[in-house]
Amino acid sequence: MKALEIIMLPVKDRQQAKEFYLKLGFQIVIEATDPHGEEWIQMNLPGGNTTISLSSFQAIIAETDDIEAEIKQLKKKDIEVGPIDDTPWGRFAWLKDPDGNSLCLHQK
């Protein structure tokens, strides 16, 4: 893993949350409908590389250059990783920490 890419924040009302974060100085990176028909709102601070996504669940998405190699290394450490999901936005693989928090690997 080379960088934290997206921190997914669970919110009750995405538009209300978007207005709050805009007031804080965040800017919209992407606002669109995702493949599941839900609203995807991704924001960041000007000049920042890490973004937030206003979502229905919590997760941290970490960028990787080689998802297969990353998964292989994690499995050697007895960390269970789900299957790779190939999408138009890249390749994703999900895992959970011991407390059930979601983490995701993303290869662009």
**Residue pair 3/49 in contact by the 8 Å Cβ criterion:** yes
In this predicted structure, what is the pLDDT of residue 37? 86
Longest Cα separation, the chain = 44
In this predicted structure, what is the pLDDT of residue 36? 78
- Structure tokens belonging to residue 4: 């934290």
Task: Tell me the H-state helices in 2-56.
Answer: 14-23
Where in the sequence is the domain holding 57, given as residue range(s)? 3-107
- Structure tokens belonging to residue 36: 């599941």
pTM of the full structure? 0.88
Residues forming beta bridges with residue 87, ordered by sequence position: 90
| Tens of pLDDT, residue by residue, the chain (108 residues) | 999 999 999 999 999 999 999 999 999 999 998 777 889 999 999 999 999 999 999 999 999 999 999 999 999 999 999 999 998 889 999 999 999 999 999 999
**Residue pair 101/57 in contact by the 8 Å Cβ criterion:** no
Task: Tell me the H-state helices in 3-108.
Answer: 14-23, 67-76
Cα separation of 81 and 75, whole Å?
7
In this predicted structure, what is the pLDDT of residue 88? 84
Query: DSSP class of residue 67?
Result: H
CATH code, 100:
3.10.180.10
Number of structural domains in the chain: 1
Q: Which amino acid is at 46?
A: P
